[in-house]
Amino acid sequence: MSFSAVDATLVQAAEAVARGEISSVELTRDCLARTERLNPNLNCFVRVDADSALAAARRADQARASGQPLGPLHGVPIAFKDMFYDKGQETSCGSAVRAGFRGETTATALKRTRAAGAIELGALNMTEFALGPTGHNLRFGACHNPWNADYIAGGSSSGSGASVAARLAFGTIGSDTGGSVRLPAAVNGVLGLKATYGLIPRTGAMPLSWSTDHVGPLARDAADLARLLAVLAGHDPLDPASSTRPVPDYAADLHAGVKGLRIGVPTNFFFEEVDTEVGRTLALALATLEAAGARLIEVAVPAPEHLTELSRTLVYSEATALHGYFQRSCPEDYSPQVRARAATGVAIPASAYLEAVLLRPMVLRRFVAEVYGACDVLATPTLPIPVPTLAETDVGASAGMWQTIARLVRCTAPFNYLGLPALNVPAGFTALGLPVGLQLIGRPFAEATLLRTAAAYQADTDWHQRRPALS
Amino acid sequence: MTNPDAKPTIDGTVALALARLAGFPTLDAETTARIAAGASNAVSAVRATATVPLFDAQPTSFVAELERLADAP
């Protein structure tokens, strides 16, 4: 077999299946074999659906053999975070609170990837109820970073990031309420996209905060993300926040380069608390983009110090409301730290929450005018510190845990409040061999520009092609 | 007379009382202090950001605003 999950990207795999160079069954067996070998140590999957995946792969191969039209993900194994409802199938949301819960509907994201021909390998590990950026989980155990199992896989889409890095799946789907796609992408050395609020429907996805929840894909390169985004994006009347804008062809200008593109580098906040080694790595990444033709422009971001708190105001007010019934009826089913996090909004005044809601369009207008009046893409660290270990972030509901969380989401949470598209692209490694991520943020619905920028960077670097040494 | 420039804060006892009122399980002192600090920070951020009257602001669709800004020159 000349093709394997270890070497091929999602797009390459889909094209190989379409050309008949490899069967979907072979691809699926390859992913399942790696999962069987590596998952006991990494804990990316909480459930592996080997039989149903192979059955779906056989159907995909039969469909191709009989000349049926093939979707853009035809025969390609992917996986979802265990919070996307699939009618009749148990969905844990990473919590004992939801043990035995079976969705009454099927998530729109699942329906769309199925219609595109994807093969589902199983359910991916996550932080309980997506409430935390480290990937710890009391019910299923922590997910481990494939680059070094002592380090966090990030959260809350921990399994989504680690499984792509470990080549257990060609692409994964996660969710992002404060950085939960971008952080696991960054710490595992893969790409992750939080699209513009409203672009990818959340129907059938576990809610955490309806104002700031985003569904997003993770994959190995920009072309893979473009393909997954094209499948996932587009209006869904069942999601009241779903945009009606037409979905563009994200692959059309993917390789058009960045000549003349203005990349804004914040002069305030985002690089102020960056670790020296991370900062040096990101400076090299920006220099690479400049060498490719982009113009680096210093940009002062308006009132960034308040954006994270405004985001937290929405997230915790809404999360506390969503969890109120469970807090009263089965508090013992939560892990202690997640129970505490789910109660965070109980003391936020309703008037403060509603002011944060009313302020949101005004804050966005100012941000877009001042930032995107000066540049086309804003560049920041995804994670301003080196990847922390599982041990140092496994501190329970203590002050240390909250400080760690604040540092982890410092550069990502602002863009959930603003609803802007934001993407992590692998930008290098620390001396300890842990990935460093560059975050690219665009104006509303400018995903194609972000993907083009990432593709240009990946054309001149090989960080995304490196893979962890796993045995 | 209170200092109008002082950072607004509530303490853990307020957070604990609100949690009890909501019927939430007992929270330890450290957690309620953290919740109180978070609520205080939320109010501070809102106060600092609300520099114009919101009296005539409409709770309009945020997605519609994103769409409008995407097409703006």
What is the per-residue pLDDT across B23-44, written as a single tens digit (0 to 9) for each? Answer: 998 889 988 998 999 999 999 9
Q: Using CB atoms, pick whichever of A244, A306, A446 lies closest to residue B48.
A: A306
ipTM surpassing 0.85: yes
Chain B touched by A355 (CB under 8 Å): yes
- Quote the pLDDT of residue A149: 97
User: Which residue in chain B has the smallest CA separation from A243?
Assistant: B63
pLDDT tens per residue, range A399-449: 666 677 788 999 999 999 999 999 999 999 999 999 999 999 999 999 999
* Known active-site residue A95: no
Q: What is the pLDDT of residues A162-179, one digit of tens each?
A: 999 999 999 999 999 999
Residues of B in contact with A209 (CB under 8 A): none
A397 lies within 8 A of chain B by CB = yes
B16 vs A: CB within 8 A: no
Contact between A339 and B36 using a beta-carbon 8 Å cutoff:
no
Both structure tokens of A170: 């060609």
pLDDT of res. A3: 64
* Interface membership of A273 toward B (CB under 8 Å): no
CA-CA distance, A403 to A129, in Å (whole number)? 20
| Whole-angstrom distance, CA of residue A291 vs CA of residue A64 | 43
Are the beta carbons of B62 and A327 separated by less than 8 Å? no
Q: Tell me the chain B residues in contact with residue A359 when contact means C-beta distances shorter than 8 Å.
A: 46, 49-50, 54
Among A24, A81, A95, A163, the active-site one is A81
State the pLDDT confidence band at A214, using cuts at 50, 70 and 90.
very high
Residues of A in contact with B14 (CB under 8 A): 347
- The answer to whether the CB atoms of B46 and A352 lie below 8 A apart is yes
pLDDT at residue A401 in the model: 63
* HEC-encoded secondary structure of A51-109: HHHHHHHHHHHHHHHCCCCCCCCCCCEEEEECCECCCCCECCCCCHHHCCCECCCCCHH
pLDDT of residue B59: 77
- Scanning every residue of chain B, which has its alpha carbon at the shortest distance from the alpha carbon of A327? B24
Please report which confidence band the pLDDT of residue B3 belongs to, taking 50, 70 and 90 as the band edges. low
pTM beyond 0.80, yes or no? yes
Strands A295-299 and A119-124: unpaired
A398 has catalytic annotation = no
**Tokens coding A190:** 């893969």
Q: Is B6 exposed, middle or buried (0-12, 13-18, 19+ CB in 10 A)?
A: exposed
In this prediction, residue A393 has a pLDDT band, given cuts at 50, 70 and 90, of confident
The answer on pLDDT for A190 being more than 50 is yes
What is the predicted pLDDT for the residue at B8? 64
DSSP state letter for A300: P
d(C-alpha A329, C-alpha A331), whole Å: 6
| Averaged pLDDT, A232-248 | 97
pLDDT band for A1, please (50, 70, 90 cuts): very low
Q: Is the pLDDT of residue B2 over 80?
A: no
Q: Give residue-wise pLDDT tens across range A40-62.
A: 999 999 999 999 999 999 999 99
Chain A residue with the nearest C-alpha to that of B61: A241
In this structure, of A89-98, A224-233, A254-263, A397-406, the range with the lowest mean pLDDT score is A397-406
Percent of chain B with pLDDT over 70: 88
Cβ atoms of A171 and A189 closer than 8 Å: no
Report how far apart, in Å, the C-alpha atoms of A111 and of each of A24, A55, A164, A386, B30 are. Answer: 19, 17, 21, 37, 44
Query: Is A180 among the catalytic positions?
Result: yes
Which of A348, A395, A401, A415 is best to mutate for the B interface (most B CBs within 10 A)?
A348
Strand ranges in A195-329 using DSSP code E only, listed in sequence order: 214-219, 262-266, 295-299
CB–CB contact B66 A324 (8 Å): no
Which residue of B lies nearest to A242 if distances are taken between CA atoms? Answer: B63
Res. A123: pLDDT tops 90? yes
Distance, CA of A346 to CA of B35 (rounded, Å): 8
Which domains are delineated in chain A? 10-465 (3.90.1300.10)
Residues A308-336 have pLDDT tens digits of: 999 999 999 999 999 999 999 999 999 98
pLDDT category, A397, cuts 50, 70, 90?
A: very low
